[in-house]
Structure 1
Amino acid sequence: MFRFIRIALSDFADLLFPTLCLGCTRSLTANEKILCTRCRINLPETGQHRRADDDHILNKFAGKVPIQFVASYLHFSKGGIVQKLIHRIKYKGQKEAAREMALWYGDLLKREGSKLPELDLLISVPMSKARLQQRGFNQAEWIAAGLSEALAVPMQADILVRKRFRSSQTRKNRIERWENVKNEFVVRQADVIQGLRVALVDDVLTTGATLEACAVALLQAGCSSVSVLTLAATR
Structure 2
Amino acid sequence: MKLLRGYLADFVSLLFPELCPACQTSLVVNEYIICSDCRYNLPYTNFHLQADNIVAQQFYGKIKVEAAYALYYFTKGGKVQNLMHHFKYKGMQQIGNLLGHIAGTQLAQNPVFNTVDLIIPVPLHKKRFQERGYNQSARFAEGLAEKLNAMVEDHNLLRTIATATQTHKSRFARFENMQDVFMIKHPEKLINKHVLLVDDIITTGSTLEACGMELLKIPGLTLSIATIAYAQ
Which residue in the other structure is 1:142 paired with?
Answer: 139
Secondary structure in 2 matching 1:73 = strand
Which residue in the other structure is 2:71 paired with?
Answer: 73
Return the offset for 1:95: 1.2
RMSD: 1.7
Report sequence identity in percent.
38
Cα deviations across residues 47-71 of structure 1 (Å, max 9, x unaligned)? Answer: 11011122x3222111111111100
Which residue in the other structure is 2:87 paired with?
Answer: 89
Q: TM-score, normalised by structure 2?
A: 0.93
Return the offset for 1:114: 4.6
Cα deviations across residues 36-93 of structure 1 (Å, max 9, x unaligned)? Answer: 1112211100011011122x32221111111111000000111111111111111111
Which residue in the other structure is 1:21 paired with?
Answer: 20
Return the offset for 1:140: 0.3
Closer, same or farther: CA 152–115 of 1 in aligned 2, 3 Å: closer
Which residue in the other structure is 1:119 paired with?
Answer: 116
In 2, Cα distance between the equivalents of 1:103 and 1:30?
A: 20
Q: Is the 8 A contact 1:21 1:28 kept in 2?
A: yes
Secondary structure in 1 matching 2:219 = coil
Q: Could you tell me which runs of 5 or more consecutive residues in structure 2 were left unpaired when the two chains were aligned.
A: none
Which residue in the other structure is 1:106 paired with?
Answer: 104
Q: What is the one-letter code of the residue matched to 2:85?
A: H
In 1, Cα distance between the equivalents of 2:165 and 2:174?
A: 9
Secondary structure in 2 matching 1:14 = helix
In 1, Cα distance between the equivalents of 2:45 and 2:145?
A: 20
Q: Is the 8 A contact 1:190 1:222 kept in 2?
A: no
Q: What is the one-letter code of the residue matched to 1:80?
A: G
Q: Is the 8 A contact 1:49 1:114 kept in 2?
A: no
Which residue in the other structure is 1:38 paired with?
Answer: 37
Return the offset for 1:98: 1.4
Closer, same or farther: CA 223–6 of 1 in aligned 2, 3 Å: farther
Secondary structure in 2 matching 1:123 = strand
In 2, Cα distance between the equivalents of 1:223 and 1:148?
A: 22
Q: Is the 8 A contact 1:52 1:115 kept in 2?
A: no
**Following TM superposition, where does structure 1 have runs of at least 4 consecutive aligned residues deviating by more than 6 angstroms?**
none
In 2, Cα distance between the equivalents of 1:76 and 1:185?
A: 26
Return the offset for 1:11: 4.2
Which residue in the other structure is 1:194 paired with?
Answer: 191
- Of residues 102, 124, 128 in structure 1, which corresponds to 2:125? 128
Q: How many residues align?
A: 232
Cα deviations across residues 165-195 of structure 1 (Å, max 9, x unaligned)? Answer: 1100111111111111111110011111111
Return the offset for 1:116: 3.2
Closer, same or farther: CA 68–40 of 1 in aligned 2, 3 Å: same
